[in-house]
Chains A and B, each alone.
Chain A
């Protein structure tokens, strides 16, 4: 038993640091301040390279300026850019193309990504090589990959037309990049090729986290492959599928380099998305005010889509 009557040993008082501006950040009372202090560099960086340019773009969109110099604010505020934008057929065409591309590329990429992940999740010889090959398109720099595709898709001497002709699938070479439908298909094909590996990798990670016991129990209950996929695999993958969907949608919406290198938005606007149109207005026609208005509208659309998707998939994600 401890003798409580014994005097307690005398210890030297703990010497606390005087801290920043005399505030002891190590004390629990100031723990929150320390947290903010540690966050400060990142916050400043985000404010400087993300928030400030975004606010600047929003302000420029309310000025009728050709070139955005630091003196653009001298001109008066106007809604002219937005009025012109919503009356422009090119803008509505770009909205339509972006939406079409969003639906087509996202759905095909998700399906191909899921299929590829399920495939390489099976046990077979050479599985490691197959996994590496699936990830390869994602690892190749975008512009390098697209230039290679340009040669593959070349209407005169491209290998794709040659193969299709040799196989008897087509009777005449297809002008992949000079006709509206083939150009849209070519852009879709390249975007899916570039985008599906990321989805596959995400889903593969998700597949490997599903406990094997679930499948064993299902087998005991007599569930076939299809039922096991529908009732075990898909529900368990929902969190991963939700995140992948949001990221893919945003990637398709803002992608610029694939379309710019392949078709430049043509022919006759068949692949002109909002990103391409914004670039063209800013750097070909030098209408920075108008281009900023386009950028702001794109930002709003992206935010709305993200909010909707996050809300829809949040029960799965969180």
Chain B
């Protein structure tokens, strides 16, 4: 009897208290592949901490979802009607969501809050179907990381500045030290595994350096132009001459282990360099990419889901405003070791903490000035299909030793058919 009374009292207390608790705390879902990542992950956590401090009645459920399979999981969430309240996507996948009407038109939100996006790096990528679908979180340009010791061993005292110098350096630094038939060091590295955007992105570095593009500014496919073919041949020279690891995987890891002499990559390569062995780390340096204009473009975006309830949308928008504020954009440059998209967001602290910051800024500006983006204009909605078909054809070109011109013509026709 006594037990029954106690249970009844607890139940009553629960019934009275629960609605109060629920009202006291709103939870916002935020899913990202960058949680826990050194640099960018630290920055997200700092924004969340600040948001929760200024909004004591709001908690952010920050969940890690690995990059592999990220878009699959997000599509499933959106399709099931349970999209995250704060939506974090890569720039090359957001169009898929926008095309399906899943993203909020941020235009009215920007206007209402008076947010100034003038000069915001890469923001034009977020314009789709006449609407502002997202806020750009990172626009970057590629730089070159190189192993000074390996270059010196090959008699090269200065990092290469042109394609010709780069090719010569790659040839000189591809070394079989003990003559056992196995190369111990490769000049550089290009992605050669799964036929995905890794192939087309790496090839685009060389295509851009020869004045080519996958598509022009009007969205017309330009793969069979002489410039693009010349660029493909530059990439092909590195592969055919065995100047790159034939495995073509884990290239950043091979670079920090001293098995690749030069690596062209985005600002995130800095996180890898921090993990290098102390014996190798002092020899790892940065320089401007010898391939100009450098590959670059939009990386990831922040936005809202159209179906999120209005109250939560308002809170999520406040979170976005905080993330894009001057204070947190400066912190982004500092912790992320890459220039934040907000104009004037690179402060003295960033320069002090990231000695190669000026290189990153120059690379970003160079890529931006040349209108470079990894996602080809006019193929945004078919980007995955394009990268697959192009990568497979170029794979076939290498395997079957087909003429570049013929393969470029095939890819040109298939890309046009996709459009």
* Residues of chain A at the chain B interface (Cβ within 8 Å): 66-70, 150, 154-158, 161-162, 165-166, 171-173, 175, 177-180, 263-269, 280, 283-286
Contacts and interface: CB of A to CB of B under 8 A. Distances in A.
Nearest to B396: A268
Contacts of B72: 283
B79 A69 contact: yes
A65 to B, nearest CB: 10
B321 interface: no
Q: Which 5 A-B pairs have the closest CB atoms?
A: A264-B194, A156-B245, A155-B246, A155-B247, A283-B72
Contacts, number: 93
Contact of A156 (B71, B100, B246): B246
B399 interface: yes
Contacts of B249: 150, 154, 177
Interface in B376-408: 384-385, 388, 392, 395-396, 398-399
Interface stretch (B9-17, B177-185, B270-278, B310-318): B177-185
Interface of B: 69, 71-72, 75, 78-79, 81, 96, 100, 180-183, 186, 192-196, 245-250, 254, 259, 384-385, 388, 392, 395-396, 398-399
Nearest to A266: B195
A31 B106 CA distance: 64
Contact of A284 (B247, B250, B384, B399): B384
B194 A172 contact: no
B193 A264 contact: yes
B246 A157 contact: no
B186 A156 contact: yes
B259 A156 contact: yes
Nearest to B246: A155
A69 B249 CA distance: 36
B100 A266 contact: no
Contacts of A267: 195, 392, 395, 399
A312 B196 CA distance: 42
Contacts of B388: 280, 284-285
Given A157-B254, A177-B247, A268 B259 contact: no
B247 A157 contact: yes
A90 to B, nearest CB: 10
25 contacts: A69-B79, A155-B246, A156-B245, A156-B246, A157-B259, A158-B247, A171-B181, A173-B181, A177-B247, A178-B192, A178-B248, A178-B398, A264-B193, A266-B193, A266-B392, A267-B392, A268-B195, A268-B392, A268-B396, A268-B399, A283-B69, A283-B72, A284-B385, A284-B388, A285-B385
Contacts of A285: 384-385, 388
A54 B396 CA distance: 37
Given A67-B100, A156-B259, 17 more contacts: A69-B81, A155-B245, A155-B247, A157-B254, A172-B181, A177-B249, A178-B398, A266-B194, A266-B395, A267-B399, A268-B195, A268-B399, A283-B75, A284-B385, A285-B384, A285-B385, A286-B96
Contacts of B396: 268
A178 B193 contact: yes
A285 B388 CA distance: 10
Contacts of B392: 266-269
Nearest to B71: A283
B80 to A, nearest CB: 8
Contacts of A69: 79, 81
